[in-house]
Structure 1
Amino acid sequence: MSHRIGFTGDVMLGRLVDERHRRRSPEAVWGTMLDRLRACDGLFVNLECCLSSRGEPWRRTYRPFHFRANPKWAIPALESAGVDACALANNHVFDFETVGLTDTLDELDAAEIARSGAGRTLEEALEPAHVTVGDRTIGFVSLTDNVPEYAADESSPGTAYVDIDVEDARTRTTVRETLDRARSKSPDLLIVSLHWGPNMVERPPESFGRFGRWLVDQGVDVVYGHSAHVFHGIEVYEGRPILYDTGDFVDDYAVDDDLRNDRSFLFELSVGDGGRPSELRLQPVEIFDVAVHEASTDAAAWCRARMRARSEEFGTSFERDGEALVLPLTE
């Protein structure tokens, strides 16, 4: 039996998104994408904010932006879309200091939404999540190379921070140990979320390519990247998709007229018998009115053209199905 697993770009529910949607029904943030999100058998997002009404903005080092959403509407919003797991290893989950971070952990736990990538200690931050989707178990690991001052340690809260460098022995050891813990429950599918690299760039550095392929060599089935606010090309390595960057899905950010950080996709992975990825479907989306929507005809054409161009260097080509791009996955 095939299952469809959805992945989104950054979900930032703070600032104007928070202000606007406190006065709306929680599901309004998903715009015209709500039914499609609900139709996924499993849904994974990068939660680019903390969920709290408490805490003071991080001032220990300079941080220009601080993102926080009130959990009274944000948790029902995540539940309304059927979000199964949140990646928390990113550069905003600690924006409102320890209380904001721990509130986020507690709110997600109370809602029974799985999470990985941040914790009260390094051990908790590195702990993989395990999600049941139908008759399948999915292991979910979340790591970041953003904001080293947010990194957890043995006795302090923070994120699961690593240097993205396959030549770094410490990184290799940390990642291998984390993947071993993820495999302890014999998941049918193993996903690694990576919040990596700088903002507003159109392609990943070669070091990310080496790291992504190394992860697949370690047994990872899906590399799920984000951070740039701009979607990147997709590589298929050994039949496994490397999503170098999934762009943005919900936010209130200023829009670059060329890079169009308000446009991306819902990435839908079909997983067949034995837990093997068989197809990746890319449904174009765009952000407006601080909500995500199915892309207009012109925006969808722009998304398809940019994705095709950005994926050429990886030898990746797509089929077309309506407004969507379709990528068969074969070794």
Structure 2
Amino acid sequence: MPHRLGLTGDVMLGRLVDEYQQRRPASAVWGDLEDRLRDLDGLFVNLECCLSARGRQWRRTERAFHFRAEPEWAVPALETVGVDACALANNHVFDYEEEALLDTLTHLGTAGIAHAGAGESREAAFEPALVTVGDLDVAFVSLTDNSPEYAAGDDSPGTAYVEIDVDDAETRAAVEDTLARARAHDPDLVIVSLHWGPNMVEEPPEAHQRFARWLVSEGVDVVHGHSAHVFQGVEVYEGRPILYDTGDFIDDYAVDPRLWNDRSFLFELSVSEDGGPVELRLLPTEIDDFAVHRASDGAAQWSRARIQDRSDPFGTTFEREGDALVYRFDR
């Protein structure tokens, strides 16, 4: 039987999400998708905040936003739906400085939720997370080109920061090293989660396309992109899925009436026992009341049309099945 892995865009549990969650059950943040998420064999998210009640807002450089969630509800919420691994290489995990970042690592570790992309040192930040999904061994790598001031140092905490440039020698060395560390565990599947590029960009730039294809050529099985707050197209390169941007899954952000950044998908990837992709299913989602839900009919129709349009340049064609779009891989 194939294993069903869920991949989402940004899960931002701070600010108004955090405020609303103080007076409702932890699981409420998952809306009517709670059972669907729990039924997945594996779930991988970008955690776009720190989990801590401590720390102070980052003021060393100019930052407009700071995201922090109370761990007393946020950790149980992640546990409720069985989140297996969190990508932490992003531009908000360090928003409340070292104390809150280290709390985040501790809370996730205590809950048994794997994480990658941030750590107490550069070596730790670049360490792949290892997750067992059924009888499938998954190596999960998290990288970002956002907020270089958050980058981990040799002896200081921070994120796994790289330039998204395949011609940059330092980038290639860092990525090749972390992929070698992943392969040392002989995983069935390697996922690289990338928080890359600026906000509200509808198409991946050429540099991202080259980088993603290079990752596949280096043995990466799934490229999981996020950061733009809007979903971008899907490419299948050498038989492997590249999700250039998975958009936003949960947040409290203002909604752009043209880009509809409150709309995205739950990306469900079915893989065989040897880690080969079988099917990619896109279930339309929509943020409402600071929680994620199945998209309304109108929103779902818009999202299906938009992602097909954005995937057309890559030659990716989806089939419609109920509310979802499906791509089946050649086996």
- With normalisation by structure 2, the TM-score equals 0.99
> Secondary structure of the equivalent of 1:78?
helix
Match of 1:165 in 2: 165
What's 1:242 paired with?
A: 242
Q: 2:136·2:274 contact (CA, 8 Å) conserved in 1? A: no
- Provide the residue aligned with 1:274 in structure 2: 274
Distance across 1 between alignment mates of 2:7 and 2:86: 10
* Structure 1 residue 11 corresponds to structure 2 residue 17: no
Please list the CA deviations of residues 195-239 of structure 1 after superposition, one character each: whole Å capped at 9, or x if unmatched: 000001101101100000000000000000000000000000011
1:231 aligns to what SS in structure 2? coil
State the alpha-carbon separation in 1 of the partners of residues 139 and 202 from structure 2: 29
1:131-146 → structure 2 map (5 Å cutoff): 131-146=131-146
Alpha-carbon distance, 1:273 to partner: 3.1
Match of 2:100 in 1: 100
Look up the SS of the partner of 2:43 in the other structure.
strand
Instruction: Check the 8 A contact 2:117/2:141 in 1, yes or no.
Output: yes
SS of the residue corresponding to residue 74 of structure 1 reads helix
In the alignment, what sits opposite 2:257? 257
**Is the 1:132–1:138 contact (alpha carbons within 8 Å) kept by the matching residues of 2?**
yes
Separation in 2, partners of 1:309, 1:39:
30
1:4 counterpart SS class: strand
Distance 1:272 1:110 in 2: 30
Matches of 2:266 and 2:4, distance apart in 1: 12
Say if 2:10 is the partner of 1:30: no
Letter in 1 for 2:94: F
One-letter amino acid of the structure 2 residue matched with residue 11 of structure 1: V
Tell me the amino acid that sits aligned with residue 155 of structure 1: D
Pairing of 1:273-312 with structure 2 (within 5 A): 273-312=273-312
Question: What one-letter code is carried by the residue in structure 1 that aligns with 2:119?
Answer: G
The separation in 2 between residues aligned to 1:273 and 1:49, in whole angstroms, is 33
> What is the Cα-based RMSD across aligned positions, in Å?
0.7
The reply to whether residue 64 of structure 1 matches residue 54 of structure 2 is no
Q: Could you tell me whether the CA contact under 8 Å between 1:238 and 1:330 is conserved in 2?
A: no
Q: Structure 2 stretches of 5 or more lacking a match? A: none
1:34 Cα offset (Å)? 0.4
State whether structure 2 residue 88 is matched by structure 1 residue 88.
Answer: yes
What letter corresponds to residue 72 of structure 2 in structure 1? K
Name the CA distance, whole Å, in 1 between partners of 2:280 and 2:190.
Answer: 16
Q: Does structure 2 conserve the Cα–Cα contact (< 8 Å) formed by 1:221 and 1:240?
A: yes
Distance 1:51 1:329 in 2: 37
**How far did residue 185 of structure 1 move?**
1.0
- Residues 101-116 of structure 1: matches in 2 within 5 Å? 101-116=101-116
Contact 1:198/1:228, CA 8 A, preserved across alignment: yes
Please report how far the alpha carbon of residue 274 of structure 1 lies from its aligned counterpart in structure 2 after TM superposition: 1.4
C-alpha offsets along residues 109-150 of structure 1, whole Å, 9 cap, x if unaligned?
A: 000100000001000000000000001100000000000000
Measured against aligned partners, the alpha-carbon deviations of 1:242-291 in whole angstroms (never above 9, x if no partner) come to 00000000000000000000000000000013110111000000001000
Q: Could you give the per-residue CA deviations for residues 29-84 of structure 1, whole angstroms, max 9, x where no partner exists?
A: 00001011001100000000000000110000001000000000000000001100
Q: What is the aligned partner in structure 1 of residue 2 from structure 2? A: 2
Q: Distance in 2 between matches of 1:167 and 1:92?
A: 27
Alignment of 1:123-202 (within 5 A): 123-202=123-202
Letter in 2 for 1:15: R
SS at match of 1:274: coil
* Identity within the alignment, %: 69
- State the AA in 2 paired with 1:275: G
Q: What letter is aligned with 2:90?
A: N
**Aligned partner of 2:50: which letter?**
C
